[in-house]
Amino acid sequence: MEQNKKVSPKQAAAIIIIAAVLVLGGVIGFFLYQNSKIETPEKRLKQYFQFVNDKEYEKMYHMLSEDSQSTISEEAFIEKNQNFYGSMEANQIKISIEEDDKSNSKRESARTLSYQLTMSTLAGELSFENSAIFSKNKDKMYMLNWSVQDLHPHLKEGEEIKAETSYPKRGNIYDRNGVMLAGEGTASSVGIVPGKLPEDREGAIAQIAEYLDVSTEKIETALSANWVKDDLFVPIRTVAKTEEALKAQLLTIPGVKISDTAVRYYPLGQSAAQVVGYTQNITAEELEEHAGEGYTATSQIGKGGIEKVYEKQLHGTTGCKVSVVDSDGNEKFVIVEQKGEDGKDITLTIDSILQSQMYRQLAEDKGWGVAMNPKTGEVLALVSTPAYNPNDFVMGYTSRAWEELNNDASKPLYNRCRSTWAPGSAFKPIVAALGLTQGSLTAGTEAVYEGLQWQKDSSWGNYYVTTLTDYSPKNLENALVYSDNIYFAQAALDMGTENFQKGLDSVGFNETVPFTMEYKPSTYGEDGKIQSETELADSGYGQGKILVNPLHLAVMYSAFANDGSMITPYLTKGEEEKTAYWKENVFTKEAAETVWNDMVQVVDHPDGTGHEAMIEGKTIAGKTGTAEIKASKEDTSGTELGYFMGIRDGDENSCLLIGMMVEDVKDRGGSHYVVPKVRECFANYK
């Protein structure tokens, strides 16, 4: 049996030392662990102002010390902060902290932090220095010793924040001659004075709801608002001043009152809808997007067209002054101020007379119209039909009316000018000018084929290009006059795929036309490449996968009036009035002149496809087009697009280009349905 060994004094001392170290380490570790859980005053202050940014005032209150909470209730605290930050629409609040004392120790029972606070407000940027005092509570958490100076260092007890806001008047939109396209108008506000409703209250409300095409729930909700009293007017719906019959019906119901109200008004209605646009109540998302710009939950904002593009200029600047006042309302000092400024008027190059004329010509159809001065670039008309009435957006659509508008098969909300379309034979002058410029085509080049169909060789199988008229000689002028598909299929093949694509790129394909409003770029081929020989041939006469934007097509045609250079289009007067070319010398001067003369023959020649556009004493160069929209060459159920692009010769002040396209012209004369419409506009516009 082994005997117990005695521990030596040295070993005992070592054990004691080790134990002491372990105990001390544990104590230090525990202290460090506990201390690490204590958030620093810096972190607490940053969290506080993050709550300010997020408008979480309740959470801010719970960061206050017990002493601070004993001096102000949660409700009063929230009200003061909402009044201060909310009145000036403070956002993007940023804090930069500098310590007042030199110690970073978390063991300090109280800490004072100096900081710089910066925020965006209705009145511009506000920045000031301030300080915050934190003290530890019984749980060792740093709590804010709050006072009104934490809102602003110059604010004293008993004083209040006063915010004065002045909202700007929206700018008007005018045409080139000063005719108002959008501005202040008057509508009729239909409402109810609750105390004057008849004994059969429910029946009266049901009748009002039926006449106004709104739900009874909407009316009841309006009547149950906190501010409503028996003798106050409660607005229900706005209707046009011209709705005399409707208003007469409504006024037979006791309690109904109708008064005038100022609204945004669009005199041309549907005629200029897609270019002018409309305004409507701002959405929650838009309100957030435009935070700090002077919008409120009841603001109107541009939703389309010029109203949207020039929203900032049209809206103006909201005036705002945030000041400190005493208990008697006397101003003590101004915290921040920005002077208000009414919105600026916008004057367009649009001519309301021509805009209305073109709309009337297209009103019964689905189509588009573009008019411009090809020598200056001024866009005189942009029409898309059918169209919505922007005044209806201002008045407010009922659910049923909005559903009908959205489900309308003719797509009145669709701006056809912004899209791209198969141009058909209206594209042939562009192909001709490219061929002449590249040298693959001359004015005397004659197509070689017999009959009314042609294929390059047997490798095309059953695929043929067809034309409608036999004529002679088969040169460029006659090919344009008779609109020969075969001639331009051969012209495209003679150019070759690479040169044809380079030519299209040179006139702006796959680019966005530089313009006030963004329009879809013209394209060719799949993924920007023509895939086959037959597709190249079809592209030569505006079929295949050629898709052209209406404004771009007009701009390409402008080269025929500018010795081969494409004008830059513009829509607003003033800043853009200096004539400039978007693409210079895309065609040679000789090529542009040759095609111009040939297009004059398209109109002047008795057999020309555009002869119906001829006006005695006027020189008009033009080209028709009928684009087939079908699944395949053999498809007989497809539809057709009818075109006429024309230029009335003149000087810089009188030269006029008008282009129109109408959908579904099959069995209605094709392009011949469109030509007289353009002629009428040429004849009636001086």
pLDDT digits (tens, 9 = 90+) for 239-279: 999 999 999 999 999 999 999 999 999 999 999 999 999 99
User: What is the structure's pLDDT at 502?
Assistant: 98
Cis omega (within 30 of 0) for bond into 676: no
Do 450 and 495 lie in one domain? The reply is yes
* Count of domains observed in the chain: 3
pLDDT digits (tens, 9 = 90+) for 372-390: 999 999 999 999 999 999 9
Backbone φ and ψ for 657, nearest 5 degrees, come out as -110, 130
Q: List the domain range (segments joined by +) for residue 644.
A: 417-675
Residue 121 pLDDT more than 90? no
Tell me how far apart the alpha carbons of residues 506 and 583 are, in angstroms, rounded to a whole number.
Answer: 8
Instruction: Give domain status of residue 339, yes or no.
Output: no
User: What is the structure's pLDDT at 475?
Assistant: 98
Do 80 and 197 lie in one domain? The reply is no
Do 504 and 649 lie in one domain? The reply is yes
Instruction: Give domain status of residue 376, yes or no.
Output: no
User: Which amino acid type is present at position 104?
Assistant: N
Tell me how far apart the alpha carbons of residues 81 and 74 are, in angstroms, rounded to a whole number.
Answer: 11
Do 546 and 463 lie in one domain? The reply is yes
User: What is the structure's pLDDT at 64?
Assistant: 97
Do 564 and 447 lie in one domain? The reply is yes
Instruction: Give domain status of residue 5, yes or no.
Output: no
CATH of the domain at 546: 3.40.710.10
Q: Is 356 one of the catalytic residues?
A: no
pLDDT digits (tens, 9 = 90+) for 316-340: 988 888 888 998 889 998 988 888 8
Q: Under a CB-based contact definition with an 8 Å cutoff, are residues 241 and 187 in contact?
A: yes
Residue 36 pLDDT more than 70? no
Q: Examine the fold and report which residue of 216, 240, 262 is the final residue of a domain before the chain moves on.
A: 262
pLDDT digits (tens, 9 = 90+) for 221-236: 999 999 999 999 999 9
Residue 31 pLDDT more than 50? no
Do 498 and 629 lie in one domain? The reply is yes
User: Which amino acid type is present at position 190?
Assistant: V
Do 228 and 147 lie in one domain? The reply is no
Instruction: Give domain status of residue 223, yes or no.
Output: yes
Instruction: Give domain status of residue 47, yes or no.
Output: yes
Taking each continuous run of H as one helix and of E as one strand, the counts in the chain are 24, 23
Instruction: Give domain status of residue 386, yes or no.
Output: no
Average pLDDT over residues 355-365: 98
Residue 122 pLDDT more than 80? no
Do 557 and 423 lie in one domain? The reply is yes
Do 148 and 189 lie in one domain? The reply is no
Tell me how far apart the alpha carbons of residues 554 and 430 are, in angstroms, rounded to a whole number.
Answer: 11
pLDDT digits (tens, 9 = 90+) for 606-663: 999 999 999 999 999 999 999 998 766 666 778 999 999 999 999 999 999 999 999 9
Closest CA to 431 of 480, 464, 469, 380: 480
Strand partners, 378: 570
User: What is the structure's pLDDT at 38?
Assistant: 60
Do 519 and 587 lie in one domain? The reply is yes
Q: Examine the fold and report which residue of 262, 287, 315 is the final residue of a domain before the chain moves on.
A: 262
Residue with tokens 């006063």: 162
User: What is the structure's pLDDT at 101?
Assistant: 53
Closest CA to 477 of 590, 605, 659, 658: 605
Do 526 and 587 lie in one domain? The reply is yes
User: What is the structure's pLDDT at 35?
Assistant: 45
68, 120, 425, 671: which is the annotated catalytic residue? 425
Q: Examine the fold and report which residue of 201, 230, 262 is the final residue of a domain before the chain moves on.
A: 262
User: Which amino acid type is present at position 253?
Assistant: I
User: What is the structure's pLDDT at 251?
Assistant: 97
pLDDT digits (tens, 9 = 90+) for 503-540: 999 999 999 999 999 999 999 999 899 999 999 999 99
337 CB neighbour count, 10 Å cutoff? 14
Instruction: Give domain status of residue 408, yes or no.
Output: no
User: Which amino acid type is present at position 442?
Assistant: T
Do 589 and 531 lie in one domain? The reply is yes
Contacts of 476 (CB under 8 A, 6+ apart): 432, 436, 441, 442, 443, 444, 445, 487, 594, 598
User: What is the structure's pLDDT at 676?
Assistant: 98
CATH of the domain at 228: 3.30.1390.30
CATH of the domain at 58: 3.10.450.100
Instruction: Give domain status of residue 25, yes or no.
Output: no
Rounded percentage of the chain residues whose pLDDT exceeds 70 = 92
